[in-house]
Amino acid sequence: MADKKTANLMIGDAEVGLPILTPTAGPDVVDIRKLYGQVGVFTYDPGFTSTASCDSTITYIDGDEGELWYRGYPIEQLAEKSHYLEVCYLLLYGELPDAEQLTDFENRVTSHTMVHEQMHNFFRGFRRDAHPMATMVGVVGAMSAFYHDSTDITDPWQREVASIRLIAKLPTIAAMAYKYSIGQPFVYPQNELDYATNFLHMCFSVPAEKYTVDPALAKAMDRIFTLHADHEQNASTSTVRLAGSSGANPFACIAAGIACLWGPAHGGANQASLEMLRQIGSVENIPEYIARAKDKEDPFRLMGFGHRVYKNFDPRAKVMKESADEVLDLLGVHDNPTLQVAKELEKIAREDDYFVSKKLYPNVDFYSGIILEAMGFPTSMFTPIFALSRTVGWIAQWKEMISDPQIKIGRPRQLYVGADKRDYVDLDNR
Ligand code: SDX
């Protein structure tokens, strides 16, 4: 990034020149790394609304134009023409693979899909009614206890093995979390199946009978994985980077990302969005909920709406909406009340001044739940599916950070507004 300009900042009588860095795309960045050293002040930006935490070559979002690129390739093209493991290769290594590279990568992932058999016992320590996200956080964090031969982050080979293991095993772990929650036996991965088909087979087959996954559903599942694969420095990715900056092992970092994703303001919104649509129940009830969403005194928010970056439409939501129509049609689910409420809610919100003025549009979580529910997943499995899809993005971002020679532990400063220095008061004098 060439330093083409300088921002001059006056602090009292002191003037400081801050380099302005120019990205490939997006707004210029004022480099404030030397600010405190030069003039003794911090910057203040809770929630990082105007602050870049790193430079990255992986994903780019233009919130005004509704653009999302993985390594420069628009998400719409990847969703239509690529498939998830090819997108994984692209995110991890920066370029689309040739036929030989793709086959080798798919074989490496496929040969790591099983988990250590002792993990079956580990699962049995959880209550059956535990939320699958709770078991996923626990099990993925525990992977460093099962795969300690790939936890040395200074060894590029171990970093690569850990990355492949995580991409390969997350669907198996997510499916195990689901099976465990419904009291059914775990289903082993079948290596002759592709990634998405394997996941659906592990979730929905039972030992008592043969189960064949509908290729059209597998394609829709694979597209959902692709749409969720990465998304710049969102909350969970920033969590993974911050955990990784301390030198924590990759399994612990991904477990931290899963924990953060679970929040309803983030990846948990797909579960919350479908539950909201069910709560609204019918098109007639929409105005009441729109009014609640606008009411400052009411904590209710339209889940699946709004985004920190997208101030137009979320390109993933557009693809997801098309996919919802296809999947429901394929499954013969017509007049789905939840989809009807979702489409009418989107229509009303797009015409309502409150949502238009605040640039609140459906995000990736608004339609995904409708597809996943139609496929047979309970709402509790929506965020685990988001987590397994995003694992490759977290790993790509973690690898980018770890291999940066200038890596520093992340340690934000603060604006202290607590008590001034004071002396201890004995109990008798309080
Ligand atoms: C994901 O960062 C990523 O990239 C995340 C993600 C990814 O792929 O990693 O895209 C995945 O997390 C998508 C977002 C899923 N979350 C939801 O759908 C939950 C509902 N949405 C909101 O909670 C909210 O929109 C956020 C959290 C998504 C964004 O919050 P911001 O950017 O901090 O915006 P804000 O909360 O400051 O809201 C701005 C204004 C506020 O009104 P004012 O205080 O300015 O008067 O818009 C209002 C908010 O009250 N608002 C909403 C709203 N979202 C924001 N009002 C009603 N319903 C909503 N959904």
pLDDT digits (tens, 9 = 90+) for 369-415: 999 999 999 999 999 999 999 999 999 999 999 999 888 999 999 99
365 labelled catalytic: yes
**Measured torsion, CA atoms of residues 317, 323, 328, 330, in degrees rounded to the nearest 10:** 180
* Cβ proximity of 375 and 221 under 8 Å: yes
pLDDT digits (tens, 9 = 90+) for 15-63: 999 999 999 999 999 999 999 999 999 999 999 999 999 999 999 999 9
Task: Determine if ligand 1 sits within 6 Å of the CB of residue 269.
Answer: yes
pLDDT digits (tens, 9 = 90+) for 138-178: 999 999 999 989 899 999 999 999 999 999 999 999 999 99
Closest ligand 1 atom, CA of 236?
Answer: 9
Residue 4 pLDDT class (50, 70, 90 cuts): low
Give the rounded percent of residues in the chain with a pLDDT score beyond 90.
89
Give the Cα-Cα-Cα angle 75, 77, 83 (nearest 5 degrees). 85
Q: Residue 308: phi, psi to the nearest 5?
A: -65, -35
Rounded Cα gap, residues 37 and 35, in angstroms: 5
Q: Report which of residues 71 and 147 the model is more confident about.
A: 71
Q: What's the pLDDT at 337? A: 87
Q: Report which of residues 324 and 164 the model is more confident about.
A: 164
User: Which burial class, exposed, middle or buried, applies to 262 when counting CB atoms under 10 A from its CB (0-12, 13-18, 19+)?
Assistant: buried
Rounded Cα gap, residues 388 and 228, in angstroms: 9
Q: Residue 67: phi, psi to the nearest 5?
A: -105, 140
Question: Given a cut of 50, is residue 2 above it in pLDDT?
Answer: no
Catalytic residue among 365, 423, 426, 428: 365
Task: Determine if ligand 1 sits within 6 Å of the CB of residue 370.
Answer: no
Q: Can you give the pTM of this predicted structure?
A: 0.95
Q: How far is the CA of 260 from the centre of ligand 1 (A)?
A: 15
Task: Determine if ligand 1 sits within 6 Å of the CB of residue 360.
Answer: yes
404 labelled catalytic: no
Task: Determine if ligand 1 sits within 6 Å of the CB of residue 268.
Answer: no
Give the rounded percent of residues in the chain with a pLDDT score beyond 70.
99
Looking at residue 206, the DSSP 8-state letter turns out to be B
Catalytic residue among 83, 131, 231, 307: 307
Provide the CB-side half-sphere exposure for 209 (13 A, CA): 4
> pLDDT averaged over the chain?
95
Q: Which amino acid is at 178?
A: Y
